[in-house]
Amino acid sequence: MEEVKPQLLKITFDGIEVEVEPGTTIMQAARKIAEADDSQGHLVPPAMCYYKPLTASGGKCRACLVKVTAGSAKDPRPMPKLVPSCITQVQDGMVVENTTNEAVLDTRKSIVEFLLINHPLDCPICDQAGECHLQDFAFEHGSVKTRYEEERRTFDKIDIGPYVQLHMTRCILCYRCVYTADQITNKRVHGVMNRGDASEISTYIEKAIDNDFSGNVIDVCPVGALTDKTFRFKNRVWFTKPEDAHRDCDKCCGKTTLWYRGDEVIRVTARKNTWGEVTDFICNTCRFEKKNTSDWVLEGPTKVKRSSVISANKYRKDLVAKPDFALKLAATQFKQIDDSRPYVTDEETIRHQSIENNDKANHRSLAANNN
């Protein structure tokens, strides 16, 4: 019997048409556009809580709000409010505005401000710096100033297991770690406690997270709230060299990224896709106990986005072309040096000329003040 393929739905996203299968969300449609053309990556809405490998994630941070100017071909009326693109499914004939809509961009600035209300300025000391989604979000859509004057809420750092430390002060309550523990472990022992502005991530009656896949909550955290205790304060990610590697493991897929400092493996993480999402979770044995190169089969350097700070100093000089605008700017500001002037090497002459030049500068300054 011939397989019947589902009828594709057509959506226009920021003026670009794309066809997707029924059940696809607006976020996934935008990502499909970017995957087909790397130059369109800036069109994809940011995501702080949505995580495709985790079922039911999304709809909490509101970072991905977009404007639907036409609901569908059958009902072209616009949706009255901005909608979260990560959980809103595509309808045939839907028209969506993201980067082209001022209301969306203004709202996104407000979302950044809201997420940073209680978030501390820990970037200079945070291990997540350089691969923090909130950093990227704030850099692209944030404001230089804050209007918040009230006292921020603070929490003490606590160990919630032998390998994981919780900085609740940095948490934005995206629920990713909760979904991860729910969906890849047999028994979740942590979750979101309390309600409203008192909500916090915590373990039940101070229990420890000690299952074989507990380290994955570190990878899914978009900020520095859950950190690897074996990597804390060891290095900045842009000073390390990531390498893809694998090993035969009876608990997980064994596919990882090794982070080198010289010849030393200082961190092991699960591999992430273009959107910073882990597709194959790894066990604690691979993550914390196998930190010798001899434990792994190296596959080669990890592919890093050219725009990422992690790529710093990892590209050969002959492969990186200088931008045209920099060369043009240098040409307009270039000043020819007069090589006909005598080249003075005598220290006494140099000292007298320096005193003379300082006197001239002081006289010019006094004359300008008197005028």
For the stretch 288-336, pLDDT in tens is 999 999 999 999 999 887 778 887 766 555 555 556 666 777 777 777 7
For the stretch 28-53, pLDDT in tens is 999 999 999 888 888 999 999 999 99
Residue ranges of domains in the chain, CATH in brackets: 9-100 (3.10.20.740), 112-232 (3.30.70.20), 234-334 (no CATH)
User: What pLDDT does residue 38 have?
Assistant: 85
Query: Residue 188: pLDDT band by 50, 70, 90 thresholds?
Result: confident
User: What pLDDT does residue 286 have?
Assistant: 95
Q: Is the pLDDT of residue 199 over 80?
A: yes
For the stretch 48-102, pLDDT in tens is 999 999 999 999 999 999 999 999 999 999 999 999 999 999 999 999 999 999 9
For the stretch 101-156, pLDDT in tens is 999 999 999 999 999 998 998 899 999 999 999 999 999 998 888 888 888 888 99
| Top-confidence residue, 194 or 245 | 245
User: What pLDDT does residue 176 have?
Assistant: 94
Give 242's strand partners.
259
**If you average pLDDT over residues 169-191, what whole number do you get?**
89
Q: Is the pLDDT of residue 183 over 80?
A: yes
User: What pLDDT does residue 13 have?
Assistant: 96
User: What pLDDT does residue 313 have?
Assistant: 62
**If you average pLDDT over residues 246-255, what whole number do you get?**
94
Answer whether 0.85 is exceeded by the pTM. no
Residues 6+ apart with CB under 8 A from 267: 228, 230, 231, 234, 240, 258, 259
Amino acid, res. 264: E
β-pairing verdict for 94-97 and 9-13: parallel
| Dist. CA 242–CA 301, nearest whole Å | 6
Cβ pair 274, 235 in contact under 8 A: no
Cβ count within 10 A of residue 208: 15
